């Protein structure tokens, strides 16, 4: 079993430092510490994909929030950003391999549009769910849900 909060803190602190250096706000909101069983390497890889995106599509002065809680036999993680957002009609396509938004193709930041396809694959492999919604008032929220074993 893995201590969820200590796993997340170790992973998130470098992102918090990076965000601070880029003048972005980075809020970590963790529930009660619990021990659960999951594939640390895969979940680490998944969260890195989502956190890299959250930072990449967020400008200085904007905010990224990471929320985690375990209840009713489910682990929920939410990564919200107040960045450029994903249009409703693109929300499905972004999970396809090699899909990149026009804004991204025109940017200097690199990428092959493979990140979210891998993320979806890892989530499926863990019987989880991944959902994209809009952050209020703007930006993207990625919600993950996993059954707790």
Provide the CA 137 distance to its chain's centre, in angstroms: 18
The DSSP annotation for 80-134 comes to: EE-SS---GGGTTGGGSTT---HHHHTSSS---S-HHHHHHHHHHHTT-EEEEEE
Per-residue interface string for the shown chain with ligand ATP, residues 35-74, x marking contact by CB under 6 A = --------------x---xx-xx-----------------
8 A C-beta contact, residue 111 and residue 104:
yes
Determine how β-strand 25-30 pairs with β-strand 63-71.
parallel
Among 113, 121, 134, 143, binds ligand ATP (CB under 6 A): 113
Among 8, 24, 65, 101, binds ligand ATP (CB under 6 A): 101
101 vs 128 by CB, closer to ligand ATP: 101
CB of 87 to ligand ATP, least distance (A): 9
Interface residues toward ligand ATP, by CB under 6 A? 49, 53-54, 56-57, 81, 83-86, 94, 99-101, 104, 109, 111-117, 140
């Amino acid at each position: 079993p893995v201590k969820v909060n200590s796993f997340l803190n170790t992973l998130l602190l470098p992102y918090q430092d990076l965000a601070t250096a880029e003048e972005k706000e980075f809020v970590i909101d963790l529930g009660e510490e619990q021990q659960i069983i999951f594939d640390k390497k895969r979940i680490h890889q998944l969260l890195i994909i989502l956190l890299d995106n959250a930072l990449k599509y967020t400008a200085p002065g904007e905010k990224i929030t990471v929320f985690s809680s375990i209840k009713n036999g489910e682990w929920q993680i939410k990564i919200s950003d107040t960045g450029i957002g994903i249009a409703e009609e693109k929300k499905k396509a972004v999970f396809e391999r090699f899909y990149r938004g026009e804004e991204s193709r025109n940017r200097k930041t690199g990428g092959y549009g493979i990140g979210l396809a891998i993320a979806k694959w890892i989530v499926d492999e863990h019987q989880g769910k991944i959902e994209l919604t809009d952050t209020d008032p703007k930006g993207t929220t990625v919600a993950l849900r996993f059954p707790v074993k």
